[in-house]
Structure 1
């Protein structure tokens, strides 16, 4: 029986082996059939079905190299380079000697400017077929580009010579022609570069980068007619490419051919894509006005071809912009209500976007309860929704809950890794935490994600300039200007940077460029920079002459006269400035700006009563101008008339109850009067609406840390003051250092308090703070000296601060002999 069982097992094993072999053969045979069918379909032009057949072949036989190569070719021809690259790479791993795969990988590496991969695969291709011209060309291109990176001119020139030799043997070698094109562009031989580009495009008519290069050359040549024709041609060759469509649209707008731009967008909107219709409506709104946009939206809605939700929401937004706030919010709420999903179903992304827009409306109207409810509703079903995340993160940052904001933003960035505004918010959160390194990193990443867009570039450059990193700031501004050569803000900031660097020649170049733009804004910016440049070089006579030369222009007259007034004040003193402004008032009697300047000159001439009469008259005529009230208030303080100063401030607040400037002055006045709790309340109110203000944050944190002992107040002071970490401003150093000390971080506090003590040597409170930290660090003698310094100042001033008793106790304690 045992032998029979063994025989039976043996037979079964043999049978299973035969079945497995049969299945294997059947699988490979079926794979081959799918492959052959795929090739036949390719010959017939039926690419969609051919793709299915090739996929089936690879499912049955993953090592079917011809099928994978055919599949890779289809992918590449269809523009799916990433997946094609993966397929070719699989072939190269299975068959390292496969020449087709190595060449394809080399070509795609060159298109992506991946030098490591280009070197690897071109060398492998050349090893397989040393005499192959395509392999030689790709390898030569890699060597040329490497030489360019290394700034090796001799090796680059050798690459150009080799490229010409290869093209003489085979004119279709696109990689060799790219070397010639690059060399010609570097030498600014534009016409020859265009000729070579035409030949490259004829050899490779579907390579988008060649068209982009030709557009760039035409732009450099300023050949507007051919640039337009080429843009239109490129759109026809690549009809699904959004970048080139946007470039053509921007060209039309830049050259004020709004009819062509609108016609282009209307043709795009003929599709069933609501986003394209929305783009048309945005264009109409921007260039034809809200009435035309409203009519367009009503036409789209009456047509009924597209889902109405998005367009009803846009109508509500137009109504909101037009000032009908309540009506707009009601309409938007109706859109939300009408499109609520059925029970158990999730809200669509479009509905969530409408909810976020409605939340913005509620927030702008001060209804934060409803705004936050809507945002939380969106995030409950779409936790990484970028727009909802931005709103909530901004609120968290304003509430100093920066850790929560950062967690939320990281989650949103994981789903939208190229969203520059998410990165900007992250930078804001890090700024609140006083983490300048991470703040700078996020600002830089935001700029990169936006592809050097002006807004992000300006923000990062502003930070670099504040950190005295002038050369990096110059670099990022120039890089953005390459893509945005006419951007006024970029040019103005670059010009201002050169003036700070005292690089007068480069500043002059920017001024010239601004004047070339020819717009009123650009001309005014150029005049401002020219005035700053001349003033910076102490060329006051030239400055006055320049300003007098433009004061006849109505658009620049007043600005020029004000600048001349300031120059007169610095060169001729207040008397000369007063004479100048009185001459101006003869031609423009009662002009409020010139009258204001006259009052300032009178103050400088120690004629405060005359100035007071002028300021009082100005505030009577212009009660809603907080700046005038603030100036009058400061004048009374300068005169020592605190009663009138207080009375003026109360009048100002009645006329301008929402003015942050006046509320800040009121808080400071209440603080000076000794009513600390009232001052804290005012600062807290200010902080709710102006939490980005460093002055408000510093004053609030300082008052909390100096006058309250409870843990909650100290924690709030720290949350508000964290942004001051790393500051070099003495008053801010004192605030941050004192709060750090109060929290027990003595070692962190000491350098801040030492720097503040040195800079504010006559402030008894600052000296007291530093003394307390020294005592806590065990530096008894230094602490005693500081306490005595603070006490001497207080004795001299006659003031008795809240910490007076502690100061006396500390001096007594530290003065005792060590053995007592």
Structure 2
């Protein structure tokens, strides 16, 4: 028997060896087809991967693999497989159509345009092409026209889509085009009817939806909510949002949206009633009651939330969710005490809850939740070591705990270990792919690395997953504003306001966006809406926007009158009114008028600290520093907690060249204001001016250890490290700190990052940063010198000489011997070897 068995194996091996690679590939393919048809998708995909080992260009296997992973919802993998198929078979219509459709579903505008072009090439007579192809092409046409604000192109694509729908009402892409055209033309009723038709065509069972259908369904629901808002149909909006929640019960962001809407409508009782109804239907699930208590804490106050918990915990018998999660609710009670300010007692209570839970059979998951809550408390108390130990304890027995991974990822970012942080956060994302907080943390990691493209992608994803929640929308809009993408920022804010129309922070951000766009009419509407929503709370914000509107249009007289009226309306008498007019003169560049009015103000109110401060500010702008210093001394004596007065006084004394006097002022400021970070930064600048660079570095390093996300501290620390030190370790440390400055359009940041790139030998990166820095800081000799060094290193000798000459002209004779020496050495090096670099200097500190 043994011999026969061996012989059989030998024969099988021989037969296998006789098979060609094509035959092996085909056998694996046929096996995969049977497995997938039989429902064993995982094994089928394995067999398809085996096909590619022997035949990487097996058309049917690649197409089947792409269709299968697409059906499972893995659009990223499907896109990659279809992309390879299209590269191998450029005329494959199914691949081109799939790539176009996935591009539309995932927002890949340029790719969609490219593959729509392939479809046109494959189907030169588009009208004769399959309806699905026509719908995809028209959708891309519409998106491209909308991007260009080509109303005629949008209308043409929409008309073609209407024709398609007459013959095939289930063409979702065609319907989306028609809906988008109606929205762009503000035909709200027509848009509502088309959306209703689109929803009716979708499967009633969410489980039957593929990934793309799910995305499309969400968009239809979201568009319907926006339309209902425009129509003022509040009943329809509420009903529609509840329907959406029922369809997507696991998406907690939608529930938060409904609560925000109730709050914006002033319907707190209805919000609370909805939350209580969820508790009744939840059984042993603790989340609905936890959410209710959080709602009460935020909207009714901490005492009301504590009373709710105490009442529930005292019930006999206890509700089912409390029985199953008693320790969780006791921990929430401790957390409420912490938020109420009773921090030490709350931490003790939480520790007691954890200790009791460890001995009473409470589940490990609940205890871990309590440990995470305690860790957050410890962070608030400054006990980072204790907090991190708690998180590591959780991760030691549950490496997939999402909350622990979030905290660890955040700390790794704080420590500049962004690579490690991204590993942790990606692993968490695998467990919770629709968590907007994880996307926000990943955006923070990419920001720290200076990768603004990926940062933007994560922020946009967070907005999507949070259903345009105010906080995530504001974060993304501010990012877009910093990149001058004003129209995109406007779109993000408008989408968020559709779901939270009374959110004043969103509205204020929209106002700032319209001011930046110079869209004065809409900006005026934003101001009016702010005053309507919160006339008292938002008065200052609305006033600032109104002043910016007047200033942006050079309406100086209107600005002066407005500021005068607002100062009088604030009930602060003539000081506020006069200060407002003086401010308007300064904004308009009328320094002489500001000096005259501030002098008159002082004559009128000779002993008023506020009048003295206003006068000192104007004198400082006029470089009358000795007079300003005297008045500021009076101000800090009368109002010793006024930080801005101390800052102004230090600046005036420093500019006068009296560093001893500036140091004495700092001594008094430190004694008065204690550990204030701004005072510490003033001390660091003073130490730098005296040549104690290591002392300045020590202060900035301490500040950085406390708040590593402070970009000004990061810039100044990186700048000092490259000023005071020449060792590789310090240069590497400076680069790690300064990476986040890459791509930021602030000249001081550009100079610091560009100079570090130069020191690291990356000349093109240095050039890209230092040219705009030198243009933005035309009167800074150091920045001009830095750019000259880059030109010299690139062999652009004439431009280097020009920069050195410009830098030399900007240095008053004898005022900066060290800089003059560096210039002299650089010139000598340039003449000796035009392509060589030169000795190191510093980046540019903010406030320098």
TM over 0.5: yes
1:567-587 deviation line (CA, Å, top 9, x unaligned): 134559456446656887899
Counterpart check, 1:514 vs 2:530 = yes
Counterpart in 1 of 2:685?
668
Where do residues 706-745 of structure 1 align in structure 2 (5 Å cutoff)?
706-727=723-744, 729-745=746-762
Match of 1:695 among 712, 719, 722: 712
Is this contact kept in 2: 1:626–1:659, CA < 8 A? no
Q: Which runs of 5+ in 2 are unaligned?
A: 1-34, 40-67, 73-100, 107-130, 144-153, 207-216, 836-848
Counterpart in 2 of 1:101?
none
Measure the CA separation in 2 of the matches of 1:356 and 1:585. 57
Counterpart check, 1:625 vs 2:635 = no
Match of 1:525 among 541, 550, 554: 541
Counterpart in 2 of 1:321?
339
**How much does 1:781 deviate?**
8.6
Q: 1:640/1:309 Cα in 2 relative to 1: closer, same or farther (>3 Å)? A: same
Q: 1:327/1:585 Cα in 2 relative to 1: closer, same or farther (>3 Å)? A: farther
Counterpart in 1 of 2:473?
457
Where do residues 55-454 of structure 1 align in structure 2 (5 Å cutoff)?
151=155, 152-155=157-160, 158=163, 219-224=229-234, 249-270=259-280, 271-272=282-283, 273-303=285-315, 304-305=318-319, 306=322, 307-340=325-358, 348-454=364-470
Measure the CA separation in 1 of the matches of 2:540 and 2:307. 37
SS of 1:510 mapped into structure 2: helix
Counterpart check, 1:649 vs 2:674 = no
SS of 2:338 mapped into structure 1: helix
Match of 1:658 among 675, 700, 713: 675
Measure the CA separation in 2 of the matches of 1:747 and 1:148. 39
Is this contact kept in 2: 1:787–1:811, CA < 8 A? no
Q: 1:783/1:521 Cα in 2 relative to 1: closer, same or farther (>3 Å)? A: closer
Q: 1:671/1:523 Cα in 2 relative to 1: closer, same or farther (>3 Å)? A: closer
Q: 1:494/1:371 Cα in 2 relative to 1: closer, same or farther (>3 Å)? A: same
Q: Bigger CA drift: 140-149 or 592-601? A: 140-149
SS of 1:797 mapped into structure 2: coil
SS of 1:485 mapped into structure 2: coil
Q: 1:781/1:264 Cα in 2 relative to 1: closer, same or farther (>3 Å)? A: closer
Q: 1:265/1:591 Cα in 2 relative to 1: closer, same or farther (>3 Å)? A: farther
Where do residues 42-57 of structure 1 align in structure 2 (5 Å cutoff)?
none
**How much does 1:551 deviate?**
4.4
SS of 1:269 mapped into structure 2: helix
**How much does 1:372 deviate?**
1.3
Where do residues 492-503 of structure 1 align in structure 2 (5 Å cutoff)?
492-503=508-519
**How much does 1:524 deviate?**
4.1
Where do residues 585-604 of structure 1 align in structure 2 (5 Å cutoff)?
593-604=610-621
**How much does 1:716 deviate?**
1.4
Q: Bigger CA drift: 204-213 or 724-733? A: 204-213
Counterpart check, 1:634 vs 2:646 = no
Is this contact kept in 2: 1:520–1:555, CA < 8 A? no
Measure the CA separation in 2 of the matches of 1:716 and 1:749. 17
Q: 1:802/1:354 Cα in 2 relative to 1: closer, same or farther (>3 Å)? A: farther
Measure the CA separation in 2 of the matches of 1:234 and 1:771. 60
Q: Which runs of 5+ in 1 are unaligned?
A: 1-58, 64-81, 87-108, 115-136, 167-173
Counterpart in 2 of 1:31?
none
Across the aligned residues of Structure 1 and Structure 2, the Cα RMSD in angstroms comes to 5.2
Q: Bigger CA drift: 569-578 or 352-361? A: 569-578
Measure the CA separation in 1 of the matches of 2:191 and 2:769. 60
Greater RCO (CA < 8 Å, at least 6 residues apart): 2
Is this contact kept in 1: 2:474–2:493, CA < 8 A? yes
Q: Bigger CA drift: 729-738 or 707-716? A: 729-738
Measure the CA separation in 1 of the matches of 2:833 and 2:160. 80
Measure the CA separation in 1 of the matches of 2:450 and 2:137. 46
Measure the CA separation in 2 of the matches of 1:814 and 1:233. 76
Give TM-score scaled by structure 1 length. 0.69
**How much does 1:544 deviate?**
2.7
Q: 1:673/1:154 Cα in 2 relative to 1: closer, same or farther (>3 Å)? A: closer
1:644-673 deviation line (CA, Å, top 9, x unaligned): 111001111122232221111111111111
Measure the CA separation in 2 of the matches of 1:178 and 1:727. 37
**How much does 1:391 deviate?**
2.2
Is this contact kept in 2: 1:668–1:679, CA < 8 A? yes
Is this contact kept in 2: 1:784–1:815, CA < 8 A? no
Measure the CA separation in 2 of the matches of 1:804 and 1:790. 12
Q: 1:663/1:324 Cα in 2 relative to 1: closer, same or farther (>3 Å)? A: same
Measure the CA separation in 2 of the matches of 1:182 and 1:754. 42
Where do residues 465-484 of structure 1 align in structure 2 (5 Å cutoff)?
465-484=481-500
State the structure with more CA Rg.
1
1:436-479 deviation line (CA, Å, top 9, x unaligned): 22222222222222232222222222222222222222332233
Is this contact kept in 1: 2:797–2:830, CA < 8 A? no
Q: 1:488/1:807 Cα in 2 relative to 1: closer, same or farther (>3 Å)? A: same
Q: 1:713/1:146 Cα in 2 relative to 1: closer, same or farther (>3 Å)? A: closer
**Number of aligned residues:** 688
Give TM-score scaled by structure 2 length. 0.67
Q: Bigger CA drift: 320-329 or 517-526? A: 517-526
Measure the CA separation in 1 of the matches of 2:802 and 2:190. 79
Is this contact kept in 1: 2:260–2:500, CA < 8 A? no
Is this contact kept in 1: 2:254–2:466, CA < 8 A? no
Q: 1:193/1:729 Cα in 2 relative to 1: closer, same or farther (>3 Å)? A: closer
Measure the CA separation in 2 of the matches of 1:147 and 1:811. 60
**How much does 1:772 deviate?**
6.0
Is this contact kept in 1: 2:297–2:305, CA < 8 A? yes
**How much does 1:630 deviate?**
0.9
Measure the CA separation in 1 of the matches of 2:373 and 2:786. 48
Is this contact kept in 2: 1:578–1:598, CA < 8 A? yes
